[in-house]
Amino acid sequence: MEKPLTQHIRADGKPLSLNEYERVGGYSALRKVLSGMTPGDVLNVVKDSNLRGRGGAGFPTGLKWSFVPQDGPRPRYLICNADEMEPGTFKDRLLLECTPHQLIEGMIIAAFAIGADVSYVFLRWAYREAARIINVAIHEAQEAGYLGRNILGSGYDLAMHLHTGAGRYICGEETALLNSLEGKRAIPRAKPPFPQVSGLFGKPTIVNNVETLCCIPPIITHGAEWFRKLSLTSDAGTKIYGVSGKVKKPGAWELPMGVSLRELIEEYAGGMLDGHKFRGALPGGASTDFLVELDVKMDYSSVAAAGSRLGTGTVVVLDDRTCPVGFVRNLEQFFAQESCGFCTPCREGIPWIRNILTAMENGEGMPGDIDLLERHARGLGPGHTFCAFAPGAMEPLQSALRFFRDDFIRHIEEHTCPWREHPVNDHNSRGFVVPHLQTNYHAADTH
Amino acid sequence: MPRIHIDHREYDVRPGRNLLETCLSLGFDLPYFCWHPALGSVGACRQCAVKAFANAEDTNGKLVMACMESVADGQRISIRDPQAVEFRENVIGWLMTNHPHDCAVCDEGGSCHLQDMTVMTGHAYRKFRFNKRTYRNQYLGPFLNHEMNRCIQCYRCVRFYKDYAGGHDLDAFASANRVYFGRSDDGVLENEFSGNLAEVCPTGVFTDKTLKQHYTRKWDLTSAPSVCVHCSVGCNTLAGERYGSLRLISNRYNGSVNGYFLCDRGRFGYEFVNVSSRIREPRIPVNTQGESWEEHVHKATEVFRGTRIVGIGSPRASLEANFVLSRIAGRGNFYHGVSSSEFELSKTASQILAKGTVPSLSLKDVEKCDVVVIWGEDVTNTAPMLALAVRQALRNRPMEKSIAANIPPWNDAATRERVQQERGPLVIGSYGTTRLDEVASMTFRASPGALSRVGCAVANQLDDAAPLAGTLDEEEQAVANEIVRVLRSARRPVIISGVSSGSMEVLQSAANMAEAVRRHNADTGLVLTFPACNSLGLALMEGRPFAELLHEEQDRRGTLIILENDLYRHADPRTVQKIVALFDHVIVIDHTWHETARNAQLVLPAGTFAESEGTFVNNEGRAQRYFQVYEPVNGIRESWRWLLTLGNALGVSQKGPWNSHDEIVRALAASADVFEPVMRVAPSANYRIYGQRIPRQPHRYSGRTAMSANRSVSEGKPPEDRDAPLSYTMEGTRLPPPSVAIPFFWWPGWNSVQSVAKYQDEVGGPLRGGDPGIRLLEPTSKAPLYFSVSAQKPPEVIVVPLHHIFGSEELSVLAPAIAERCPKPYLAAGPMTFGMHTADHGAVMRLEIHGRMLTLPVVVDPAMPKGVAGLPVGLPGMEYFELPASASVIMQLQNAE
C-alpha cells in the first residue's frame, strides 16, 4: 500500500530534516517543475490528478487554482490553511510536525502554478511544536535556495512566512483567515468576490489545506494517473483518516481514499472498547452529520450519498454509554463559543441551542424544545447565515434529532439525563457572564 | 432597464442596485438593520431575507439576503413567501433574545427602527426562556449615551464611525454573542461626527445625551424644517421643541447637501437657544408705558426719530433681516458686520463663484470627485461636513478597480477588502496640521505667501495666462509639479479653499488653480467656505465693512442699529468702542447677551433660528429656508419683525411697507437679480394642501390639553402662523409636504428616522419634488477669472488663524456640551517657528500683534513651518485679532514644565 504522504515519517515522530527529506527524494518534484514545466503544465497535472481539497469541502484543487486571473493585480498570495481546530481532527498536525518539508515543497509548487509572490502558513496557535518545526524548515529551505529570490536559478521568487493565529476556530474559514491575516477581526467575507480574485489585501489569493498541499509533490513526481489509481473509488489519492471516541486504538492513518467506515473502526482503530457499542459516528469532524451505518465508503461522494460529508475524514465515534444529547451539547457549546458574532442566526441561535441542550441535560427540558431545536436546525441552514459555520454546527444536531430522537424525548420526559448523575456546570447557558470575560472589555463603571 | 418579478408582479428597476434598496424604492416594506443607504451592504443581520427562484418553473426557491443580491433582468423573488416571512420573524426572535425590552425607559422608544422592524415582521411571542447577556456601559463624553444591553450587533456604528467618518476610537470587541461596541477605555468619542451614531444605531445603544437632559419623545416634539447656523455649509436639520425649549436637532435629509448626516457642532450646538444668557425681554432705557412690548419700544424710540440711521448687518442673520435693516438705514448707511479683511475676502469669494468659470459644488458633488486639493483650509474645523464629503471622494479613484473586478459599489465589505487602504489623491496646503492629513496623499505646510506662490505656479503650469506670484524654491517647485500631476490625472477635480485662512493671497491663488484646471477639464469644481451661516448672503448685499464708519467724513451722529452681531468678534475692542461712541443712540437686536449688547441703550430680544424664519445662503450659493419651530414668549420676536417695529417707530416705514415675511421676501427678490430666486425657495404662507396646513406636531402628540393647565385650565387658542404654511399643532394635512417644508419624517410602520426612504424618489436619491434650496450663483464667464496675486514679503513671524469645530463658532460654544469640548486659548507653534527660540509644549510666550500684547501657553504643532505661529480664532476669552498678522516682539516668560 503506497503512502505518499506519510511513508517517510520517522518512527520516533521527530520531523524530517531537510537532509533527510532530500535523501528520500525530497524537493525533486520542485526541481522537476522548475526545470522545464510551465505554471500551466503544473495546473494541468493537478487538474488531471483529480485532487480534491482535504480541508473539508472537497473542492477540486486544480479548478480552484484556475480561477486566479492571469492578468490580475500583484502581488498574489498562496496560503496554507494550517488552522486545524475542528473538534476531533488532528490529521494536519501529523504532517506539520513530521514532514514539514513536504508541505513547503507542495506550497512552492502550488505558488509557482498560480504565480504567487508571497506565501503564508496560517497555523493554529496551539500547535506550538508545529510552529517551531515549520519555522526551522522554512529557514532550512531558504538557506538551501528553495525559497527567496531566483529559486534554483529558475528566476522564480517566492517569500514564505509563518503566521500563528490567536486561537479562533473561524480562522479556518478561508475568508476569515484572510481578515485575520490582515490584522482585522476574524469574520468571514461575502463571496463573491472569491479570494482567487480579491483575497488577501484585495489581491488574488489561493488558500489550500495542509494535506492538500502535501499531495502536490508526489503528484508531480509520479503523475496524475498514478495518484488517481491510489484510490479505491473515483475520488483520487490517499487520505489521512482519523478515529477518536471509545475505540481501542484511536489514531490517524494514511489509507487509500474510499476505505469503508467499518474497516476504519473495526480494523485500524481496533474496534469499540469492551463494553461499548457503536451507535453512530461523525465521519469528518464536528460539523458533519451522524452516520449510523458502518458500511459506507469514506470518499466525498459516497459519504454525501449516505447523508453526511467526508469533511476532514476524521471520525468521532458515539458509543452507547455516552449521552447523545450531552455529546451534541458539547459540540454546540464549542460552536456557540467560536461563532465570530457577525451574523444574527449564528451569533444568537447557537447559544440558544446550547442553552436548550444544557437545560435538557439538567432535567429542565420542556415540551416544545425539540421543535425549537428543529426550527433552529432549519433556520441556520445553508444560505441563511453569512458563512458555512452555522450550517456545519447544525449537521450533528439535525442528524442527532433524527437518529437519537428518543434520547432527546427521554431527557424531557424523565426530567433528567439518563446517562448522568451531576448537572452540567455551565454558567454561560444560565445567562451569567463569566467575570473574567467581562473585564476584558470594560474598564470602568457604568455611567 | 432590468425587469424583475416580485411576488408575481413585474417591475422595471434601476440596474446596478441591490434587491433591498430596489424593493424599498418600489415602496415595499422589507425589514433590515445592517444595511444603510449611505453605508451599503455587508449581509450581517440576515433580516432582509427574500425567496429567490431560479426561473418561472422553480417553486421551491431559496432564501437570499436582498441586500447582498444585485438586481438582474428576469429575476424572480418573493417577499411574501411563507418561509421568508418565517425566517425574518426568526431573525427578530434571535435579536430579541438579549434585548432588554426596556422601550418604556429607552430614549429611542417611539423612533426606534428595532421597534418598527419587530412589528413589521410580526414577532410578538417570546420563546427564549433563558437569562439575558448583560454588559457594562461606557462614558463616551458629553454628546452620547451608551447602553450596550440594547445592542443587536448590526455593526452599523463601527462601519459609520471607522469606515465612513474615519474615526479611530470606536470598535467591535470580543466575539460570539458577547460582541461589544465601544471604546477600548471609557472616554470622549473623538470623531467630529460621532453624534450620527444616535441616528445610525437602529436602537437605543447610542442616544443623544443632550436630549436626555430634557427628554421628549419624538411624538411629543413640535418640529420644523431648519438650517444649521453653525457654519457656512448649511446642513438641513429638524429642530424639535416642547414647553418652549429646544430639545433636539436631528438630520433633515437633503440629497444635495448633508445627506444622512450632521457634524457634532451642528447636532449639539443648539442649546445656545436654551441657555440663561439669552436676551428674553427688551431692555428699554426709559420708563415707558404700553400694552405690548411693541408699544414700549415705539415710545422709547420716539426720541431717536429723525436722526440719521446706520445699520450694521450680520453674517449670521437671515437675508430678510439684513435686507430690512439695509432698507431702514438707506443707501450708504448699511454696513456689513464683519471685519474689513473678512469683508474683502467674502466679496472676492462671491465674485469667484459668480464671475469665474468654475461652478461651486454641493457636498453631493464633492463626494463624486476623484481628486481633491484643499488650499489653506482646515475644513474639518471650518466646514466639518465638507471634510466628511472629502473622505468619501477619496474612495472613488481606487473603487474604479473594485468596480472593474465586478464588485458593485453597494457591496461595502467586498469593496473595502478589494480597495484596502488605497485612497485617491488629496493634496492639502495648510498652515499646520489638519485633521484630514491622515488621508492626504501630500501635505504642504507653509506661510500664506508660500501657499499663494505655489498655487499661482500650479495655475501657471496648467495655463500660461495665469499670472505667477513670485519664484519658487526647490521644495515649492516639487509640490507644484505634484499638484499639477494629480490635477491633470483627475476625472473630476475639486479645489477647496475659503475665507477662513484669512488670506486674500491664498484664496486668490486657489481660485487661479481652479480656473486653470477648468481649462483642461470641464468637470472641475470649486468649493469655498465662509465663516458664518449667511456670510455669502451678506456678501451679496451692498454695503461696506463697519470699520469704515471710523473714516467717514459726514455727520456721524445718529442712531446705530446692530443686528445679531457681537462687534467685538469682528474688530479689536478699541475700534468697536470708538465706533459705538460715534452715535447718540445704539440699538442691538440679538438673542444672546454679549459685550456689544451690554453696551447698547436699547436691546431687543431676537428669536434664534428656532424662533424665526428666514433664508440663508450657504457656501455653495444655495438659498435655503428655515422655519420657525415655535412661537417665542415674552418680548422675543424675529429680528426682521423688530426691525419693522423700529422702522415704524423711527418714521422710516415708507421704506419698508411690509407686514409679513412673504412681503419681505418679495421685496428682497425684487431688490437685486441675484436674490430673485429666493421667492421660489419655499412656498408662501398661503400655501395649503387641500386647504390644510402642514402640521408641526405629529398626530400622536400628547398632553396638548394639559400641558399649560398649571397656568390655566382652559386650553388657549393655538397660535396661528402668518408667515409660513405650517400649523403649530397636529391639525393639518397627513399628506407628505413639499420637500422644503417637511417638519419630521414619519410614515405608517416607520416611526424612526429610517422613514426618510419613504420621502425619496428612490433610496439615497433626492427628496420627492427635488432637494430643498435654490442655487443663486452660477459661473457666467467664458474667460477665466485670474487674480494677479501680490505675495507680501513675509514678516519674521506670521500669526495665522486656526479654527476649532468646538470653540471657534460663536453660538455653538454657548451650548454646555460643546463648551466641554472647547480648548483653552493657546498659541500654536512649530519647532522652528521662532527660529532660535525653540517653542516647547507648555512654555508661555508673550508676543505683540498689531500693537497689542498677548500672553499664551504654547501648543506645539510639529507640522507648523518656520516663521508661522497659529492663534485659535473665536475661543471664549480671546479678543479679536486680524489674522494673518506679523508678530514682532516675542519673549518667553516661562519654560515648559
Domain extents in chain B: 3-96, 343-429+443-466+475-530, 798-894
Residues A99 and A220 in one domain: yes
For residue A359, is pLDDT > 80?
Answer: yes
Q: Sign of the CA dihedral B187, B192, B196, B200?
A: negative
Q: Mean of the per-residue pLDDT values for chain A?
A: 92
pLDDT of residue B32: 98
Whether residue A187 is contained in a domain is answered as yes
Q: Which residues of B touch A338 (CB under 8 A)?
A: 176
Q: What is the mean pLDDT of residues B256-276?
A: 97
In angstroms, the separation between the Cα of residue A389 and the nearest Cα of chain B is: 12
* Pick from B42, B95, B139: CB nearest A447: B139
pLDDT of residue B842: 79
Q: What is the mean pLDDT of residues B695-714?
A: 92
For residue A429, is pLDDT > 70?
Answer: no
| CA B461 to chain CA mean position, Å | 35
Q: Sign of the CA dihedral A401, A403, A408, A413?
A: positive
Q: Sign of the CA dihedral A346, A347, A351, A356?
A: negative
Rounded to 5 degrees, what are φ and ψ at A340?
A: -75, -20
The helix/strand/coil state of A106 is helix
pLDDT of residue A445: 38
Question: Does A193 contact B414 at a Cβ distance shorter than 8 Å?
Answer: yes
Fold assignment, B3-96? Ubiquitin-like (UB roll) (3.10.20)
Q: What is the mean pLDDT of residues A217-239?
A: 96
For residue B608, is pLDDT > 50?
Answer: yes
Determine the residue among A191, A198, A354 to mutate to test chain B binding: the one whose Cβ has the most chain B Cβ atoms within 10 Å. A198
Domain final position from A276, A302, A319: A319
Determine the residue among B20, B86, B163, B178 to mutate to test chain A binding: the one whose Cβ has the most chain A Cβ atoms within 10 Å. B178
pLDDT of residue B286: 75
Residues A396 and A344 in one domain: yes
| CA A290 to chain CA mean position, Å | 17
| Chain B residue whose CA is closest to A348 | B94
Looking at this protein, which amino acid is placed at residue B394?
Answer: L
Is the link from the previous residue into A396 a cis peptide, with omega within 30 of 0?
no
Q: Which of B305-309, B368-372, B634-638, B709-713 has the highest mean pLDDT?
A: B368-372
* Pick from A201, A383, A446: CB nearest B62: A383
Extract the C-alpha cell encoding B266.
451642528
Whether residue A178 is contained in a domain is answered as yes
Report chain A's C-alpha Rg in angstroms. Answer: 23
Extract the C-alpha cell encoding A178.
484572510
* Pick from B129, B173, B405: CB nearest A197: B405
Among A337-351, B394-408, B550-564, the least confident range: B550-564
Residues B380-394 as b or e (16 or more Cβ within 10 Å = b): bbbbbbbbbbbbbbb
For residue B51, is pLDDT > 90?
Answer: yes
Q: What is the mean pLDDT of residues A179-185?
A: 96
For residue A439, is pLDDT > 80?
Answer: no
Whether residue A292 is contained in a domain is answered as yes
Residues A299 and A206 in one domain: no
| SS3 readout for B716-774 | CCCCCCCCCCEECCCCCCCCCCCHHHCCCCCECCECCHHHHHHHECCCCCCECCCCCCE
| Chain B residue whose CA is closest to A430 | B131
For residue A444, is pLDDT > 50?
Answer: no
For residue A353, is pLDDT > 50?
Answer: yes
Whether residue A412 is contained in a domain is answered as yes
pTM of model > 0.90: yes
pLDDT in tens, A150-169: 999 999 999 999 999 999 99
In angstroms, the separation between the Cα of residue A440 and the nearest Cα of chain B is: 8
* Pick from A384, A433, A446: CB nearest B46: A384
Q: How confident is the model at residue B828 (pLDDT cuts 50, 70, 90)?
A: very high
Residues A207 and A280 in one domain: no
Question: Does B174 contact A437 at a Cβ distance shorter than 8 Å?
Answer: yes
Question: Does B406 contact A345 at a Cβ distance shorter than 8 Å?
Answer: no
User: Which CATH entry fits the domain spanning B798-894: 3.30.70.100, 2.40.40.20, 3.40.50.2300, 2.40.30.170?
Assistant: 2.40.40.20
Looking at per-residue pLDDT, the higher value among B896 and B684 belongs to B684
Task: Give the C-alpha separation, A404 to A397, whole Å.
Answer: 10
The CATH number covering residue A377 comes to: 1.20.1440.230
Cα B304 to Cα B105, B299, B310, B652, distances in angstroms: 56, 10, 12, 11
* Pick from B42, B185, B417: CB nearest A198: B417
Extract the C-alpha cell encoding B648.
415704524
In angstroms, the separation between the Cα of residue A70 and the nearest Cα of chain B is: 13
pLDDT in tens, B485-537: 999 999 999 999 999 999 999 999 999 999 999 999 999 999 999 999 999 99
Closest CA to B558 of B596, B587, B589, B595: B587
Report chain B's C-alpha Rg in angstroms. Answer: 28
Among B62-76, B140-154, B207-221, B776-790, the least confident range: B776-790
pLDDT of residue A421: 65
Q: What is the mean pLDDT of residues B6-14?
A: 97
Q: What is the mean pLDDT of residues B398-418?
A: 94
User: Which CATH entry fits the domain spanning B343-429+443-466+475-530: 3.40.228, 3.40.50, 1.10.3470, 3.30.1460?
Assistant: 3.40.228
Residues A365 and A312 in one domain: no
Q: Which residues of B touch A430 (CB under 8 A)?
A: 130-131
pLDDT of residue A436: 37
Residues A243 and A182 in one domain: no
In angstroms, the separation between the Cα of residue B655 and the nearest Cα of chain A is: 58
Q: What is the mean pLDDT of residues A35-54?
A: 96
The parent domain of residue A64 ranges over 18-229
pLDDT of residue B305: 83
For residue B895, is pLDDT > 70?
Answer: no
pLDDT in tens, A102-147: 999 999 999 999 999 999 999 999 999 999 999 999 999 999 999 9
* Pick from B186, B405, B419: CB nearest A443: B186
Task: Give the C-alpha separation, B437 to B832, whole Å.
Answer: 20
Looking at per-residue pLDDT, the higher value among A164 and B791 belongs to A164
pLDDT of residue A301: 94
pLDDT of residue A427: 46
For residue A430, is pLDDT > 50?
Answer: no
Residues A183 and A62 in one domain: yes
Please check whether residue B516 is in contact with residue B455, taking contact to mean a CB–CB distance below 8 angstroms: no
DSSP codes of every residue in B612-625: --EEEE-TTSEEEE
| Residue labelled with grid coordinates 464536528 | A286
Whether residue A5 is contained in a domain is answered as no
| Residue labelled with grid coordinates 430639545 | B247
Whether residue A13 is contained in a domain is answered as no
Residues A361 and A384 in one domain: yes
* Pick from B68, B91, B138: CB nearest A345: B91
For residue B299, is pLDDT > 90?
Answer: no
In angstroms, the separation between the Cα of residue A357 and the nearest Cα of chain B is: 12
DSSP codes of every residue in A201-239: GGS-EEEEEHHHHHHHHHHHHH-HHHHHHTSSSSS-SEE
Q: Which residues of B touch A444 (CB under 8 A)?
A: 138-139, 185-186
Q: Where are the beta strands (DSSP E) in B352-474?
A: 371-375, 426-430, 442-445
Residues A148 and A179 in one domain: yes
Task: Give the C-alpha separation, A58 to A56, whole Å.
Answer: 6
Q: Which residues of B touch A387 (CB under 8 A)?
A: none
Please check whether residue B486 is in contact with residue B427, taking contact to mean a CB–CB distance below 8 angstroms: yes
Question: Does B63 contact A383 at a Cβ distance shorter than 8 Å?
Answer: yes
pLDDT of residue B806: 98
In angstroms, the separation between the Cα of residue A166 and the nearest Cα of chain B is: 13
Q: How many domains does chain A have?
A: 3
Burial degree of B874 (CB within 10 A; 0-12, 13-18, 19+): middle
Q: How confident is the model at residue B654 (pLDDT cuts 50, 70, 90)?
A: low
The CATH number covering residue A302 comes to: 3.10.20.600
| CA B845 to chain CA mean position, Å | 35
| Chain B residue whose CA is closest to A439 | B136
Counting Cα atoms < 13 Å in the Cβ hemisphere of A183 gives: 3
* H-helix segments, B279-375: 293-300, 319-329, 340-355, 363-367
Q: How confident is the model at residue B754 (pLDDT cuts 50, 70, 90)?
A: very high
pLDDT of residue B248: 97
Q: How confident is the model at residue A432 (pLDDT cuts 50, 70, 90)?
A: very low
Q: Which residues of A touch B134 (CB under 8 A)?
A: 433
**Residue B28: CB atoms within 10 Å:** 16
Q: Mean of the per-residue pLDDT values for chain B?
A: 94
In angstroms, the separation between the Cα of residue A367 and the nearest Cα of chain B is: 12
* Pick from A190, A372, A443: CB nearest B413: A190
Whether residue A2 is contained in a domain is answered as no
Cα B893 to Cα B2, B832, B848, distances in angstroms: 73, 18, 14
Whether residue A358 is contained in a domain is answered as yes
Residues A417 and A435 in one domain: yes
Residues A216 and A274 in one domain: no
